[in-house]
Chain A
Amino acid sequence: MASPNVSGQAYAFMAMTPVMPGEEQPLAEYLRGLRARGPSPLARLARTHLARFVIVPDFKNDPTWKQRHEEHLDLNYLIFTSNLDGDLDSYLDELCEKLAPEAKEIWGRCVGCPESAEGAALKTYLRHNQIDTGIFFAAYGEATVATVRKALREREKMIAFAIRAQGMAPAALHEAFLAEFIGAQ
Protein backbone atom coordinates (compact mmCIF):
# COMPACT_ATOMS: atom_id res chain seq x y z
CA MET A 1 0.00 0.00 0.00
CA ALA A 2 1.38 3.44 -0.96
CA SER A 3 2.59 5.59 1.91
CA PRO A 4 0.37 8.57 2.72
CA ASN A 5 3.59 10.59 2.84
CA VAL A 6 4.30 10.01 -0.85
CA SER A 7 2.98 11.70 -3.99
CA GLY A 8 4.81 10.73 -7.16
CA GLN A 9 8.43 10.64 -6.09
CA ALA A 10 7.92 13.44 -3.55
CA TYR A 11 7.87 12.74 0.20
CA ALA A 12 6.16 14.82 2.89
CA PHE A 13 8.16 14.74 6.12
CA MET A 14 6.97 16.24 9.39
CA ALA A 15 8.58 16.12 12.82
CA MET A 16 7.03 17.81 15.85
CA THR A 17 9.37 18.09 18.82
CA PRO A 18 8.78 19.64 22.28
CA VAL A 19 10.86 22.72 23.04
CA MET A 20 12.63 22.73 26.41
CA PRO A 21 11.15 25.26 28.82
CA GLY A 22 13.19 28.45 28.70
CA GLU A 23 14.50 27.74 25.20
CA GLU A 24 11.45 29.01 23.31
CA GLN A 25 12.70 32.56 22.82
CA PRO A 26 16.33 31.69 21.96
CA LEU A 27 15.10 29.09 19.46
CA ALA A 28 12.68 31.55 17.85
CA GLU A 29 15.40 34.20 17.62
CA TYR A 30 17.83 31.72 16.12
CA LEU A 31 15.39 30.51 13.46
CA ARG A 32 14.18 34.02 12.64
CA GLY A 33 17.78 35.18 12.31
CA LEU A 34 18.84 32.51 9.82
CA ARG A 35 18.07 34.72 6.84
CA ALA A 36 20.16 37.56 8.16
CA ARG A 37 23.14 35.22 8.52
CA GLY A 38 23.16 34.21 4.84
CA PRO A 39 21.45 31.70 2.58
CA SER A 40 19.07 29.29 4.27
CA PRO A 41 20.92 26.24 5.63
CA LEU A 42 18.16 24.17 4.02
CA ALA A 43 19.68 25.11 0.65
CA ARG A 44 22.44 22.63 1.51
CA LEU A 45 19.87 19.85 1.21
CA ALA A 46 19.65 19.66 -2.57
CA ARG A 47 16.57 17.43 -2.47
CA THR A 48 14.43 19.95 -0.57
CA HIS A 49 11.69 21.68 -2.59
CA LEU A 50 10.03 23.66 0.19
CA ALA A 51 10.52 23.40 3.95
CA ARG A 52 9.67 25.31 7.09
CA PHE A 53 10.32 25.62 10.80
CA VAL A 54 7.34 26.75 12.86
CA ILE A 55 7.15 27.08 16.64
CA VAL A 56 3.62 26.44 17.86
CA PRO A 57 3.07 27.94 21.32
CA ASP A 58 -0.41 26.52 21.94
CA PHE A 59 -3.69 25.43 20.43
CA LYS A 60 -6.33 28.05 19.81
CA ASN A 61 -9.32 27.94 22.20
CA ASP A 62 -12.35 30.13 21.67
CA PRO A 63 -15.36 30.13 24.02
CA THR A 64 -17.73 30.84 21.12
CA TRP A 65 -16.81 27.49 19.54
CA LYS A 66 -18.71 25.58 22.26
CA GLN A 67 -15.78 23.24 22.72
CA ARG A 68 -16.63 21.35 25.93
CA HIS A 69 -13.06 21.43 27.25
CA GLU A 70 -10.19 23.74 26.43
CA GLU A 71 -7.06 21.99 25.23
CA HIS A 72 -3.55 23.35 25.55
CA LEU A 73 -0.15 22.14 24.50
CA ASP A 74 2.00 21.19 27.49
CA LEU A 75 5.04 22.88 25.94
CA ASN A 76 5.89 24.90 22.84
CA TYR A 77 6.47 22.57 19.89
CA LEU A 78 8.85 22.93 16.97
CA ILE A 79 7.46 21.73 13.67
CA PHE A 80 9.83 20.93 10.85
CA THR A 81 8.26 19.95 7.55
CA SER A 82 9.96 19.28 4.26
CA ASN A 83 8.69 18.43 0.79
CA LEU A 84 11.58 16.38 -0.51
CA ASP A 85 12.75 14.14 -3.32
CA GLY A 86 12.95 10.39 -2.96
CA ASP A 87 13.29 8.32 0.15
CA LEU A 88 13.32 9.71 3.65
CA ASP A 89 16.08 7.53 5.01
CA SER A 90 18.87 8.91 2.81
CA TYR A 91 17.41 12.43 3.12
CA LEU A 92 17.70 12.31 6.89
CA ASP A 93 21.29 11.05 6.53
CA GLU A 94 22.04 14.14 4.44
CA LEU A 95 20.20 16.41 6.84
CA CYS A 96 22.03 15.08 9.88
CA GLU A 97 25.37 15.57 8.13
CA LYS A 98 24.86 18.85 6.26
CA LEU A 99 22.79 20.62 8.90
CA ALA A 100 25.10 19.59 11.74
CA PRO A 101 26.24 23.18 12.46
CA GLU A 102 22.63 24.32 12.91
CA ALA A 103 21.04 21.18 14.34
CA LYS A 104 22.42 21.72 17.83
CA GLU A 105 20.95 25.24 17.88
CA ILE A 106 17.61 23.94 16.63
CA TRP A 107 16.75 20.42 17.82
CA GLY A 108 19.38 20.72 20.57
CA ARG A 109 16.84 22.97 22.29
CA CYS A 110 14.18 20.26 22.20
CA VAL A 111 13.26 17.70 24.85
CA GLY A 112 14.89 14.31 24.30
CA CYS A 113 17.30 15.42 21.58
CA PRO A 114 20.61 13.60 21.88
CA GLU A 115 23.44 15.69 23.32
CA SER A 116 25.44 15.72 20.08
CA ALA A 117 22.38 16.58 17.89
CA GLU A 118 24.01 15.04 14.84
CA GLY A 119 24.50 11.84 12.88
CA ALA A 120 22.63 8.62 13.58
CA ALA A 121 21.40 9.82 16.99
CA LEU A 122 19.69 12.88 15.49
CA LYS A 123 18.23 10.76 12.70
CA THR A 124 16.72 8.37 15.24
CA TYR A 125 15.31 11.34 17.16
CA LEU A 126 13.70 12.86 14.06
CA ARG A 127 12.32 9.48 13.00
CA HIS A 128 10.88 8.99 16.48
CA ASN A 129 9.07 12.33 16.24
CA GLN A 130 7.82 11.87 12.69
CA ILE A 131 4.09 12.34 12.13
CA ASP A 132 2.51 10.72 9.12
CA THR A 133 0.58 12.84 6.64
CA GLY A 134 -3.13 12.28 5.99
CA ILE A 135 -3.29 13.77 2.51
CA PHE A 136 -0.30 14.98 0.56
CA PHE A 137 -0.83 17.00 -2.60
CA ALA A 138 2.10 17.68 -4.92
CA ALA A 139 1.38 19.66 -8.10
CA TYR A 140 4.53 18.30 -9.77
CA GLY A 141 5.35 15.34 -7.55
CA GLU A 142 7.14 13.45 -10.32
CA ALA A 143 9.75 16.20 -10.73
CA THR A 144 12.84 16.46 -8.54
CA VAL A 145 14.37 19.78 -7.50
CA ALA A 146 17.08 19.25 -10.13
CA THR A 147 14.45 18.57 -12.82
CA VAL A 148 12.49 21.67 -11.87
CA ARG A 149 15.55 23.89 -11.93
CA LYS A 150 16.67 22.49 -15.29
CA ALA A 151 13.20 22.98 -16.78
CA LEU A 152 13.12 26.59 -15.57
CA ARG A 153 16.55 27.25 -17.07
CA GLU A 154 15.58 25.64 -20.38
CA ARG A 155 12.42 27.71 -20.56
CA GLU A 156 14.39 30.93 -20.09
CA LYS A 157 16.84 29.81 -22.73
CA MET A 158 14.04 28.88 -25.13
CA ILE A 159 12.28 32.23 -24.70
CA ALA A 160 15.52 34.09 -25.42
CA PHE A 161 16.19 31.89 -28.43
CA ALA A 162 12.67 32.28 -29.83
CA ILE A 163 13.05 36.07 -29.72
CA ARG A 164 16.51 35.97 -31.28
CA ALA A 165 15.49 33.48 -33.98
CA GLN A 166 12.57 35.48 -35.32
CA GLY A 167 12.89 35.92 -39.08
CA MET A 168 15.87 33.56 -39.46
CA ALA A 169 16.10 31.53 -42.65
CA PRO A 170 15.81 27.72 -42.20
CA ALA A 171 19.55 27.04 -42.50
CA ALA A 172 20.49 29.76 -40.01
CA LEU A 173 17.70 28.70 -37.66
CA HIS A 174 18.81 25.08 -37.73
CA GLU A 175 22.43 25.99 -37.12
CA ALA A 176 21.59 28.40 -34.30
CA PHE A 177 19.32 25.84 -32.59
CA LEU A 178 21.96 23.13 -32.74
CA ALA A 179 24.57 25.51 -31.39
CA GLU A 180 22.31 26.69 -28.57
CA PHE A 181 20.70 23.44 -27.46
CA ILE A 182 22.88 20.62 -28.71
CA GLY A 183 26.36 22.04 -28.97
CA ALA A 184 26.50 23.05 -25.33
CA GLN A 185 25.47 19.62 -24.09
Chain B
Amino acid sequence: MSIQTPAPAPITATGTQPRNHDGQAIAITVFSTIKLWGRVFLPVLFFVTRRIPKLTGTLRQLSFIHFARWTVIGKLPYNGPPQKKGRFRYPHMYFESNFNGGWEEYIDAFSHILTDGMTAFWGSSYGFPKPLPTAPFKRYIQDNETEADHYYCAYPEATSTMIQRSLELDKKLVALKRDARRMDPDAFAAAYRRFLTDAQNAL
Protein backbone atom coordinates (compact mmCIF):
# COMPACT_ATOMS: atom_id res chain seq x y z
CA MET B 1 0.00 0.00 0.00
CA SER B 2 1.31 3.41 -0.80
CA ILE B 3 0.68 6.44 1.33
CA GLN B 4 -1.96 8.79 0.00
CA THR B 5 -0.85 12.33 -0.48
CA PRO B 6 -3.98 14.23 -1.48
CA ALA B 7 -2.29 17.34 -2.80
CA PRO B 8 1.39 18.11 -2.98
CA ALA B 9 2.36 20.56 -0.29
CA PRO B 10 3.58 23.86 -1.63
CA ILE B 11 7.31 24.22 -2.07
CA THR B 12 8.63 26.69 0.48
CA ALA B 13 10.80 29.72 -0.20
CA THR B 14 13.83 27.56 0.49
CA GLY B 15 12.88 25.22 -2.36
CA THR B 16 11.82 22.18 -0.39
CA GLN B 17 8.65 20.70 1.13
CA PRO B 18 7.32 22.15 4.41
CA ARG B 19 7.82 18.94 6.40
CA ASN B 20 11.53 19.01 5.55
CA HIS B 21 11.87 22.13 7.71
CA ASP B 22 12.30 22.93 11.34
CA GLY B 23 13.11 26.61 11.61
CA GLN B 24 16.33 27.24 9.71
CA ALA B 25 17.15 23.53 9.47
CA ILE B 26 16.31 21.62 6.30
CA ALA B 27 16.24 17.84 5.86
CA ILE B 28 17.16 16.04 2.69
CA THR B 29 16.60 12.28 2.44
CA VAL B 30 17.66 10.42 -0.69
CA PHE B 31 17.77 6.75 -1.65
CA SER B 32 19.63 5.55 -4.72
CA THR B 33 20.13 2.10 -6.19
CA ILE B 34 23.76 1.06 -6.56
CA LYS B 35 25.27 -0.85 -9.46
CA LEU B 36 26.86 -4.13 -8.50
CA TRP B 37 30.41 -2.77 -8.64
CA GLY B 38 29.45 -0.20 -6.03
CA ARG B 39 28.91 -3.06 -3.57
CA VAL B 40 32.71 -3.38 -3.40
CA PHE B 41 33.73 0.16 -4.26
CA LEU B 42 31.64 2.12 -1.76
CA PRO B 43 32.69 0.25 1.40
CA VAL B 44 36.32 0.76 0.35
CA LEU B 45 35.65 4.46 -0.32
CA PHE B 46 33.94 4.82 3.07
CA PHE B 47 36.79 3.00 4.81
CA VAL B 48 39.43 5.23 3.23
CA THR B 49 37.42 8.42 3.82
CA ARG B 50 37.00 7.58 7.51
CA ARG B 51 40.71 7.05 7.92
CA ILE B 52 41.84 10.17 6.07
CA PRO B 53 39.91 13.04 7.64
CA LYS B 54 41.39 15.43 5.08
CA LEU B 55 39.03 13.88 2.54
CA THR B 56 36.04 15.29 4.39
CA GLY B 57 37.78 18.67 4.71
CA THR B 58 36.01 19.91 1.60
CA LEU B 59 32.69 19.16 3.27
CA ARG B 60 33.69 21.58 6.03
CA GLN B 61 33.94 24.31 3.40
CA LEU B 62 30.18 23.91 3.03
CA SER B 63 29.61 25.70 6.30
CA PHE B 64 25.83 25.39 6.06
CA ILE B 65 25.82 21.65 6.82
CA HIS B 66 25.10 20.52 10.39
CA PHE B 67 25.25 16.73 9.96
CA ALA B 68 25.29 14.42 6.92
CA ARG B 69 25.59 10.69 6.41
CA TRP B 70 25.90 8.08 3.70
CA THR B 71 24.95 4.47 4.32
CA VAL B 72 24.97 1.44 2.05
CA ILE B 73 22.20 -1.05 2.75
CA GLY B 74 22.53 -4.56 1.36
CA LYS B 75 19.89 -6.22 3.51
CA LEU B 76 17.49 -5.28 6.25
CA PRO B 77 17.14 -6.94 9.64
CA TYR B 78 14.37 -9.53 9.63
CA ASN B 79 11.38 -9.04 11.92
CA GLY B 80 9.13 -11.92 10.90
CA PRO B 81 6.25 -12.16 8.40
CA PRO B 82 4.91 -10.43 6.40
CA GLN B 83 8.40 -8.95 5.93
CA LYS B 84 10.38 -10.90 3.33
CA LYS B 85 13.73 -12.29 4.33
CA GLY B 86 16.92 -11.92 2.35
CA ARG B 87 19.32 -9.56 0.70
CA PHE B 88 18.37 -6.93 -1.84
CA ARG B 89 19.29 -7.72 -5.43
CA TYR B 90 21.16 -4.39 -5.51
CA PRO B 91 22.66 -2.47 -2.62
CA HIS B 92 20.96 0.85 -1.90
CA MET B 93 22.50 4.06 -0.64
CA TYR B 94 20.80 6.17 1.99
CA PHE B 95 21.89 9.80 2.14
CA GLU B 96 20.67 12.38 4.58
CA SER B 97 21.75 15.90 5.21
CA ASN B 98 20.76 18.53 7.75
CA PHE B 99 21.57 21.98 6.50
CA ASN B 100 20.32 25.55 6.30
CA GLY B 101 19.81 27.97 3.45
CA GLY B 102 18.10 27.06 0.21
CA TRP B 103 17.69 23.63 -1.37
CA GLU B 104 18.89 24.84 -4.79
CA GLU B 105 21.90 26.65 -3.35
CA TYR B 106 22.76 23.53 -1.35
CA ILE B 107 22.77 21.30 -4.41
CA ASP B 108 24.65 23.96 -6.41
CA ALA B 109 27.36 24.17 -3.76
CA PHE B 110 27.58 20.38 -3.55
CA SER B 111 27.97 20.14 -7.31
CA HIS B 112 30.52 22.90 -7.72
CA ILE B 113 32.66 22.41 -4.62
CA LEU B 114 32.41 18.65 -4.15
CA THR B 115 32.42 17.67 -7.81
CA ASP B 116 34.91 14.81 -7.42
CA GLY B 117 33.47 13.69 -4.10
CA MET B 118 29.95 13.59 -5.52
CA THR B 119 31.11 11.52 -8.45
CA ALA B 120 32.87 9.13 -6.07
CA PHE B 121 29.84 8.78 -3.77
CA TRP B 122 27.08 8.62 -6.40
CA GLY B 123 29.00 7.46 -9.48
CA SER B 124 27.94 3.86 -8.87
CA SER B 125 24.25 4.78 -8.48
CA TYR B 126 21.83 4.05 -11.30
CA GLY B 127 20.70 7.19 -13.10
CA PHE B 128 23.35 9.47 -11.59
CA PRO B 129 23.90 12.19 -14.23
CA LYS B 130 27.24 13.63 -12.90
CA PRO B 131 27.24 16.68 -10.62
CA LEU B 132 27.72 19.17 -13.45
CA PRO B 133 25.77 20.65 -15.08
CA THR B 134 23.57 21.06 -12.03
CA ALA B 135 20.10 20.97 -13.64
CA PRO B 136 20.06 17.19 -14.39
CA PHE B 137 21.64 16.50 -11.02
CA LYS B 138 18.94 18.51 -9.23
CA ARG B 139 16.27 16.57 -11.11
CA TYR B 140 17.95 13.32 -10.04
CA ILE B 141 17.98 14.33 -6.37
CA GLN B 142 14.38 15.56 -6.55
CA ASP B 143 13.26 12.30 -8.17
CA ASN B 144 14.96 10.23 -5.48
CA GLU B 145 14.13 12.39 -2.48
CA THR B 146 11.56 11.40 0.14
CA GLU B 147 9.92 14.10 2.23
CA ALA B 148 10.28 13.69 5.98
CA ASP B 149 7.11 12.86 7.89
CA HIS B 150 8.46 14.57 10.98
CA TYR B 151 11.66 16.56 11.38
CA TYR B 152 13.17 17.99 14.54
CA CYS B 153 16.03 20.37 15.29
CA ALA B 154 17.10 21.20 18.86
CA TYR B 155 18.09 24.77 17.91
CA PRO B 156 15.85 25.68 14.97
CA GLU B 157 16.73 29.36 15.05
CA ALA B 158 20.44 28.76 14.44
CA THR B 159 22.35 28.16 11.24
CA SER B 160 25.35 25.84 11.20
CA THR B 161 27.66 28.81 10.59
CA MET B 162 26.15 30.65 13.55
CA ILE B 163 26.72 27.61 15.76
CA GLN B 164 30.31 27.12 14.69
CA ARG B 165 31.05 30.82 15.23
CA SER B 166 29.31 30.79 18.60
CA LEU B 167 31.40 27.82 19.73
CA GLU B 168 34.57 29.64 18.65
CA LEU B 169 33.44 32.81 20.41
CA ASP B 170 32.60 30.88 23.56
CA LYS B 171 36.16 29.50 23.82
CA LYS B 172 37.57 33.03 23.60
CA LEU B 173 34.98 34.40 25.99
CA VAL B 174 35.80 31.74 28.59
CA ALA B 175 39.42 32.92 28.58
CA LEU B 176 38.41 36.57 28.90
CA LYS B 177 36.04 35.76 31.77
CA ARG B 178 38.76 33.76 33.52
CA ASP B 179 41.23 36.64 33.30
CA ALA B 180 38.81 39.52 33.90
CA ARG B 181 38.61 39.12 37.64
CA ARG B 182 42.31 39.60 38.30
CA MET B 183 42.84 42.44 35.83
CA ASP B 184 42.74 46.12 36.67
CA PRO B 185 40.33 48.23 34.55
CA ASP B 186 42.97 49.45 32.10
CA ALA B 187 44.40 45.98 31.49
CA PHE B 188 40.87 44.63 31.09
CA ALA B 189 39.90 47.38 28.62
CA ALA B 190 42.94 46.47 26.49
CA ALA B 191 42.15 42.74 26.70
CA TYR B 192 38.50 43.44 25.83
CA ARG B 193 39.51 45.41 22.73
CA ARG B 194 41.81 42.55 21.64
CA PHE B 195 38.97 40.11 22.25
CA LEU B 196 36.55 42.12 20.11
CA THR B 197 39.09 42.40 17.28
CA ASP B 198 39.87 38.70 17.49
CA ALA B 199 36.23 37.62 17.75
CA GLN B 200 34.64 40.08 15.35
CA ASN B 201 33.92 37.40 12.75
CA ALA B 202 31.99 35.44 15.34
CA LEU B 203 29.78 38.33 16.42
Contacts and interface: CB of A to CB of B under 8 A. Distances in A.
Interface string B37-55: 0000011001001100000
Given A24-B3, A137-B65, A174 B163 contact: no
Taking each of B65, B77, B98, which has the highest tally of chain A beta carbons within 10 Å of its own beta carbon?
A: B77
B103 interface: no
A132 B71 contact: yes
Contact residues of A: prevailing secondary structure: mixed
Interface of B is mostly: mixed
Contacts of B70: 133-135
Interface in A98-157: 110-113, 128-140, 143, 145, 147-152, 154-155
Interface residues of B, number: 85
A56 B31 contact: yes
B170 A60 contact: no
Interface string A69-96: 1010011110101010000000000000
A52 B151 contact: yes
Given A40-B152, A64-B127, A111 B73 contact: no
Given A139-B160, A178-B181, 13 more contacts: A14-B94, A22-B1, A49-B153, A60-B144, A112-B79, A128-B77, A140-B164, A140-B167, A155-B166, A158-B173, A162-B196, A174-B188, A178-B180
